[in-house]
Amino acid sequence: MHRHAARHGIAAAVALAFCLVAVSARAEHTNIAFDFTGASPGVSAVWTQVSVQDPDLLLVTGLYKYPRLWESGLLGTATNNAYGIAGDYGSTGIRPLEEAIGSNRFVAFEVQAAHPQVFDLRSAIMAYRATSIGYWAPTEFALLTSVEGFSLGAVMGSITNGRTDTPITSSARFALPDEAAYSAVTNLEIRIYAAQGQYYGHAASIDALALIDAKIIPEPALLLPLAFLLARLRRR
């Protein structure tokens, strides 16, 4: 009896371990990933080239720069295979993130769930990589979303590079909050603000940018009639 129980316990433990491994090894689902392959992608007014795009996700606006930033190639520093940016940060000191947000020093894109669906963004991941190329280039690249607005208190996270004489690159993955505000989103705008720069025209770049594991679900208003219909069918 005890031997049977022990065997049962071992089998259960093995099954549990297998399930945990299977869950941890679950492949991520990339909803959209930009492809920056080519000569000076940042020269384009709007960059729409992607390597992955979910069929139920619409790219409303490709990646673009607000006028306070421009393509570094226009200053003679072409940035190939990356989305190059540069700006005039002035000579009165390194400009902090608060100033970058107030001055609209950002790149952005917007996506939409195909009607009649919405995004469930709880625990979805924004992944990006940024390089500071010039010595006085921006070294902080902060992520904000339209769900909580574009203010200093709404920063999801930041990449921070060091300031060196050679290009330095960092990557980050930030999980969006597991909060009700993220559970039924029709349109999502993502902005990356470039901060901690000084002087004029020192180049930086966004090298990779992707939205991962966002769920695309029926609009909540459609779920109640569907539940009612299923209940009627069960009673038959």
pLDDT at 136: 94
Cβ atoms of residues 29 and 57 within 8 Å: no
Evaluate whether residue 209 is within a structural domain. yes
Cis peptide before 167 (omega within 30 of 0): no
Q: What is the DSSP letter of 227?
A: H
Q: Which of 50, 126, 40 is closest to 83 using CA atoms? A: 40
Q: Looking at residue 178, what is its pLDDT? A: 97
Which residues span the domain enclosing 221?
30-235
**Residue 45 domain flag:** yes
pTM confidence score: 0.82
Please give the pLDDT value at position 11. 44
Q: Tell me how long the chain is.
A: 236
Beta strands per DSSP E along 96-201: 106-113, 117-120, 125-132, 140-145, 157-160, 168-175, 187-195
Is 88 among the domain residues?
yes
Residue 35 has which token pair? Answer: 């492809």
18 falls within a domain = no
The pLDDT score that the predictor gives to residue 77 is 57
- Per-residue model confidence (pLDDT) at position 10: 45
The partner residues of 197 in beta bridges, in order of sequence, read 95
Q: What is the DSSP letter of 102?
A: H
Instruction: Name the strand (E) or helix (H) holding 234.
Output: helix 220-235
Residue 13 placed within a domain: no
Number of structural domains (the chain) is 1
94: domain CATH number is 2.60.120
Residue written as token pair 């940024």? 130
108 within domain boundaries: yes
DSSP secondary-structure letter at 27? P
pLDDT digits (tens, 9 = 90+) for 111-170: 999 999 999 999 999 999 999 999 999 999 999 999 999 999 999 999 999 999 999 999
Which pLDDT value is given to residue 68? 78
Cα separation, 100 vs 95, whole angstroms: 7
In a domain, 4, yes or no: no
Residues of the chain with pLDDT under 50: 1-25, 76, 224-231
Kind and range of the H or E element at 38? none
Indicate whether 97 belongs to any domain: yes
Cα–Cα distance for residue pair 146/111, rounded to 1 Å: 11
